[in-house]
Amino acid sequence: MKVKSSYIPYFLILPAFAYLLFFVGYPLVQALYTAFTQNGHFSLATVRKTFTDPYFWDALKYTISLAGVIVPTQVALAIILALGVNRVFKGKDFTIYALTIPLTISDVAAGLIWYSMLSPSGFLNKLLLNIGLINNPIYFFGYQYRHMEFLAIVLAELWRATSIVFVIILAGLQMISHEYLEAAEVFGADYWTRLRKIVIPLLKPSIQSALIIRTLFAMQIFGIVWILAGRDIPILAGEGFYRLTELKEYDVASIYALVIAGLSIILGALYIKFMKAEYLEVRG
Amino acid sequence: MSRKIGFAGVLVLVLLGAIVSGCIGGEETTSPTTTEQVTINWLSTQLNPPEERAFVQEQLLKEFKDQSGIDVNFVPISYSDLATRLEAEEQTGEVTIDLVADLHGGLDFFNSQAWLEDLSGKTLEGRTFISTFEKYATIDGKKVYIPWMSATYVMVVNKKAFDYLPAGLTQDDVMKGTEKWDYNALLEWAKNLKEATGQPQLGFPAGPKGLLHRFLHGYIYPSFTGYQAKNFDSPEAVQMWNYLSELWQYVNPASTTWDAMGEPLLRGEVMLAWDHTARIKNAIESNPDQFVVVPVPRGPKGRGFILVVAGLAIPKNAPHQDEAWKLIDYLTKPETQVKILENVGFFPTVQEATGAIPSGPLKVLAEGVTAQSATPDAVVAMIPNLGEKGGQFTDAYRTAFQRIVLKGEDPETVVKELGPQIKALFQEMGQEIP
C-alpha cells in the first residue's frame, strides 16, 4: 500500500485522536446536552436549579479552598524534601523509596488509614491520652467538627499526594547541570543565592508540571473527602456523584462535571500562561 | 501499513470501550435449547452484587437443577429495567420472563398494571408463611407474590451498655421491646452512657451512603406521627424533631461520616447503634457474645419499623409457569431459606426456617428481628416505591435532618417547606401518601 508521506503524521495521531473523541469528546457532548436541554429543547433550568442550591456554592468553596491550602503546601514541602534528598548521603535510595510509598496507595485507602489514626479511639488520641497531654479525645469527625475534618483531609492529602510532586521536582533537580552551580560558587554565590538565582528558575518547568497535575487532581478530589467527612464538607465531585447515584438527577450531575472540567481547563491555561519556563541560555 | 495498524488499533479500542461500558456483550441468550430441556428466565432485582449472584448461580440454582432437572437463567436487573422489559413483553404478548423477584413495592406496582398471575389457588407443602408477610402479599383478594426474603433495620446493643440502663428500664424490656422501651428511655440511656463514659455512645449511619433516612421516614416518623409522610409537617412532627435534636447531643458526632454501623461497633466507638441488619452483620459475626440485637424503641403512636419484603411472582402469560412454581417451591423451603440467611443475610419468610437456624451469630440476629416483628404495638412501614423519585423522597428527609438537627434551624419552618414537596412526589406518581 502506498501512502503519500505527508499524510503519515495524521495517520499516526489517528488512534490517539479516536481515543480522545470516544472517551473525552463523546461524554463531553453528552454532558453538555444533558445539562442544557429539557425535553429536547435548549433550557437553562438545570443551571438555575444547580446555582440556587446552597450545596453547590459550598462545594465550590470547599473544593477551591482545599486546593488552595493543599497544593501550595505540597509544592513547598516537595521542594524542601527534594533539596534535602538531592545530595550524596548514606541511605539516599531508601529515603527516596520511603517518601514515594504513599504514591502507591489509593485515596480511599489513604482516607481509611487516616480515619483510623484520627478517630476518637484511634492511634493519635490513644497516644495523647496515654502520655497525659489530653483528658478527652480530640474529635476530628462529624458535622460539628467540620474545621477538624478539613484539617484531617489536608493532612491525609499532604501525606498521600506530596510524593508525586516530590518525584517530579526531584527529577527536575537532577537535570540541573552542576556546571551552573560550580560556576556560581566560583563567583562567590552562597547557597541561598544559588537557590534563588539558579535552582528555582531552572526548576520552573518541573514546578509547572507538578502544579498543573496537582491542581487538576485537586479539582477532582473525592475519595478522601468522602471517607473522612462524608457530605459534611461538600466538594464538587462528591456532590456530582451524590446527585447522580442517589437522586438520579443526571442533568444536575452533568453541570457539576462540566464545572469541574471548566475549572480544570481555566486553571491549566493560567498556569501555562503565567509560568513560562525559563532557560538561562536564552534569557536576554 | 501505518494506516492499517492505526485503523485496527482504533477498532480494537472502540470495541474494548463498548464491551467495558457494557454496550456489547453480557446479554445472555434467552432462547431455550433445542431439546425438550426447559430453561426458565428468572429476573431479579435482588441478590445482584457479584458475590450474591455467585451464591445464587453456584449454590441455589445448581442444587435446584440437581433436584428438578430444570435449568434457570438468573438475570440480575435494576428495578427500572425490569419494569420497562416487563411492560414491553406484556404489551406485545411475547412474554419470555417466567419469574420475577422484587421488593413488595415493585410487585405491588406490577400487579396494579395487571402484569402478574394470581397465585391464590396454589399451595406449598410443609411451611407456614409469617402472617405479616402473607397479609402484604395478598392485594384485593389476589395472591400477588410469594414472600421470599425479608430484611429490616434494628438496634444493636453492646452488652456493656446494659450496666447504664436508666431507672425503671430493664434489660428484658429492651430485648423484648416492651411498653417501657420507648424513645424517652433511649434518650435517658444515651445520656447516662455519655455521662458515665465521657463520650457519646449512640450511633447512626448518617454518612452520605448511610441509611439514616430510613430511620427518619420508617421508624421515628411513624412512631411519633403514626405515618411516614402524611403528617410530615404536623405538630407531632415538630415535637419529634425537637426530640431528635435533644437526642443528638448524646450521639457520636462522627455519625455524619458513617455509612454502616458494623465497623464503629466493632471498634468500640459506640455501644448503641441503629442500622440495616446486613450492615451490622459483620459486628455480630466477629463478636456474637458482645452484642445483642434488640427491637427499636416505641413512640407515642407505636413502634414504627420498616419491613423489607422481597417476593417471587409469575408474570401473566409466562411460558413456563409450572417450572417457575417449582423454583418458588424450592426457594421458600425452610432449608433453602436458612441457606439464604447464612450466605447473604436476608431473613426467612417462613416460620419453620427461624427454628432451623443453628445457634451462633445468625441466631442472635434472627432473634432480634423476630422480637421486633412480634411486638404488639408495631407500626409497620413499607419503603414507598417511587422509582427514580425515590432519591428525592429520601433526600427530603435527610435535608430536614441536616437543617434542623445539625444546623439548628427552626423545625416548623423546615417541615412546612419540605412537607408539600414530599407529598407532591406521591401525587405525581399517583400513589396514596403513606
Model pLDDT for residues A212-258, shown as the tens digit of each residue? 999 999 999 999 999 999 999 999 999 999 999 888 889 999 999 99
Q: Which residues of B touch A136 (CB under 8 A)?
A: 198-199
d(CA A134, nearest CA chain B) in Å: 13
- Check CB contact under 8 Å for A15 and B4: no
Q: What pLDDT is attached to residue B143? A: 95
- Check CB contact under 8 Å for A18 and B13: yes
Q: Residue B30: which pLDDT band, with cuts at 50, 70 and 90?
A: very low
Q: Which residues of B touch A23 (CB under 8 A)?
A: 17
Size of interface A-B (CB pairs under 8 A): 90
Residues A180-207, mean pLDDT to the nearest whole number: 91
- Check CB contact under 8 Å for A18 and B1: no
- Check CB contact under 8 Å for A141 and B254: yes
The amino acid that residue B83 corresponds to is A
What CA dihedral angle connects A227, A232, A233 and A239, to 10 degrees?
80
Interface probe for A, chosen from B194, B256, B399 (most Cβ of A below 10 Å), is B256
Closest B-chain CA to A120:
B269
Q: What pLDDT is attached to residue A281? A: 53
Examine the pLDDT at A277 and tell me if it is beyond 70.
Answer: no
Examine the pLDDT at A269 and tell me if it is beyond 70.
Answer: yes
Interface probe for B, chosen from A19, A20, A23, A141 (most Cβ of B below 10 Å), is A141
Q: What's the half-sphere exposure (Cβ side, CA atoms, 13 Å) at B26?
A: 9
Q: Can you tell me whether residue B305 is helix, strand or coil?
A: strand
Q: Which residues of B touch A142 (CB under 8 A)?
A: 252-257
d(CA B143, nearest CA chain A) in Å: 32
Q: Which residues of B touch A149 (CB under 8 A)?
A: 257
- Check CB contact under 8 Å for A142 and B253: yes
Which class for A180: exposed (0-12), middle (13-18), buried (19 or more C-beta within 10 A)? middle
Average pLDDT of chain A is 91
Nearest to A224 by CA among A276, A167, A159: A159
Q: Residue A284: which pLDDT band, with cuts at 50, 70 and 90?
A: very low
Q: What pLDDT is attached to residue B16? A: 54
Chain A, 78-117: which have a CB under 8 Å from a chain B CB?
A: 115-116
CA B167 – CA B188 distance, rounded (Å): 9
Q: How far is CA A231 from CA A15, A59, A84, B349, B407, in A?
A: 40, 9, 38, 37, 14
Per the CB < 8 A criterion, the answer to whether B97 and B86 are in contact is yes
Q: What pLDDT is attached to residue A87? A: 85
Q: Which residues of A touch B256 (CB under 8 A)?
A: 141-143, 230-232
d(CA B291, nearest CA chain A) in Å: 19
CA B315 – CA B117 distance, rounded (Å): 6
Residues A109-136, mean pLDDT to the nearest whole number: 91
The maximal CA–CA distance of chain B, rounded, in angstroms, is: 88
Chain A, 148-207: which have a CB under 8 Å from a chain B CB?
A: 149
Q: Can you tell me whether residue B361 is helix, strand or coil?
A: helix
pLDDT in tens, B257-302: 999 999 999 989 999 999 999 899 889 999 999 999 999 999 999 9
Kindly state whether A53 is in contact with chain B, defined as any CB-CB distance less than 8 angstroms: no
Q: Which of A8, A120, A231 sits opposite B269 (nearest CB)?
A: A120
Instruction: Of A39-48, B234-243, B403-412, give the lowest mean pLDDT range.
Output: A39-48
pLDDT in tens, B41-56: 999 999 998 889 999 9
Closest B-chain CA to A11:
B3
Q: Residue A135: which pLDDT band, with cuts at 50, 70 and 90?
A: confident
Q: Can you tell me whether residue B175 is helix, strand or coil?
A: helix
Which runs of consecutive H residues, i.e. helices, occur in A119-199?
123-130, 146-175, 178-186, 191-194
What share of chain A has pLDDT > 70, as a percent? 96
Backbone angles phi, psi at B249, to 5 degrees: -65, -25
Q: Which of B9, B199, B255 sits opposite A120 (nearest CB)?
A: B199
Q: Which of A136, A139, A247 sits opposite B392 (nearest CB)?
A: A247
Residues B135-147, mean pLDDT to the nearest whole number: 93
Instruction: Of B26-35, B178-187, B352-361, give the lowest mean pLDDT range.
Output: B26-35
Q: Which three cell numbers stand for residue B363?
A: 441466631
Annotate B381-415 with b (16+ C-beta within 10 A) or e (fewer). bbbbbbeebbbbbbbbbbbbbbbbbbeeeebeebb
Instruction: Of A33-47, A263-277, B316-330, give the lowest mean pLDDT range.
Output: A263-277
CA A203 – CA A49 distance, rounded (Å): 45
CA B147 – CA B416 distance, rounded (Å): 38
Residues B76-100, mean pLDDT to the nearest whole number: 93
Examine the pLDDT at B17 and tell me if it is beyond 60.
Answer: no
Q: Residue B386: which pLDDT band, with cuts at 50, 70 and 90?
A: confident
Q: Which residues of A touch B254 (CB under 8 A)?
A: 119-120, 139, 141-142
Q: How far is CA B182 from CA A19, A22, B155, in A?
A: 61, 58, 13
Kindly state whether A20 is in contact with chain B, defined as any CB-CB distance less than 8 angstroms: no
CA B151 – CA B180 distance, rounded (Å): 25
Which class for A6: exposed (0-12), middle (13-18), buried (19 or more C-beta within 10 A)? exposed
Q: Residue B6: which pLDDT band, with cuts at 50, 70 and 90?
A: low
Residues B228-249, mean pLDDT to the nearest whole number: 97
Instruction: Of A24-38, A266-280, B3-17, give the lowest mean pLDDT range.
Output: B3-17
Q: Which residues of A touch B198 (CB under 8 A)?
A: 136
Q: Residue B22: which pLDDT band, with cuts at 50, 70 and 90?
A: very low
Q: Can you tell me whether residue A71 is helix, strand or coil?
A: helix
Examine the pLDDT at A196 and tell me if it is beyond 60.
Answer: yes
The amino acid that residue B313 corresponds to is A
Strand bridging mode B272-276 / B146-158: antiparallel
Q: What pLDDT is attached to residue B187? A: 98
Q: Which of A22, A121, A247 sits opposite B395 (nearest CB)?
A: A247
* Domain limits, CATH 3.40.190.10, in chain B: 28-151+308-368, 152-305+379-428
CA A67 – CA A281 distance, rounded (Å): 34
Q: Residue B33: which pLDDT band, with cuts at 50, 70 and 90?
A: very low
Q: What pLDDT is attached to residue A272? A: 84
Give me the residue label for grid cell 406484556: B90
Tell how many helices (H) and how many strands (E) occur in chain A: 14, 2
DSSP per-residue letters across B61-125: HHHHHHHH--EEEEEE--HHHHHHHHHHHHHHS-----EEEEEHHHHHHHHHTT-B---TT---T
Structural domains of chain A, ranges and CATH numbers in brackets:
44-282 (1.10.3720.10)
Per the CB < 8 A criterion, the answer to whether B196 and B185 are in contact is no
Interface probe for B, chosen from A8, A24, A248 (most Cβ of B below 10 Å), is A248
Per the CB < 8 A criterion, the answer to whether B14 and A18 are in contact is yes
Q: Which three cell numbers stand for residue A1?
A: 500500500
Which CATH architecture describes the domain B28-151+308-368?
3-Layer(aba) Sandwich (3.40)
Instruction: Of A273-277, B176-180, B363-367, B405-409, give the lowest mean pLDDT range.
Output: A273-277
Q: Which three cell numbers stand for residue B33?
A: 435449547
- Check CB contact under 8 Å for B257 and A11: no
Closest B-chain CA to A248:
B388
What share of chain B has pLDDT > 70, as a percent? 92
Q: Which residues of A touch B258 (CB under 8 A)?
A: 230
Q: What pLDDT is attached to residue A257? A: 94
Model-level pTM?
Answer: 0.82
Examine the pLDDT at B152 and tell me if it is beyond 80.
Answer: yes
Interface probe for A, chosen from B24, B209, B257 (most Cβ of A below 10 Å), is B257
Class of domain B152-305+379-428: alpha beta
Per the CB < 8 A criterion, the answer to whether B118 and B135 are in contact is no
Q: Residue A279: which pLDDT band, with cuts at 50, 70 and 90?
A: low
Q: What pLDDT is attached to residue B207? A: 92
Kindly state whether A57 is in contact with chain B, defined as any CB-CB distance less than 8 angstroms: no
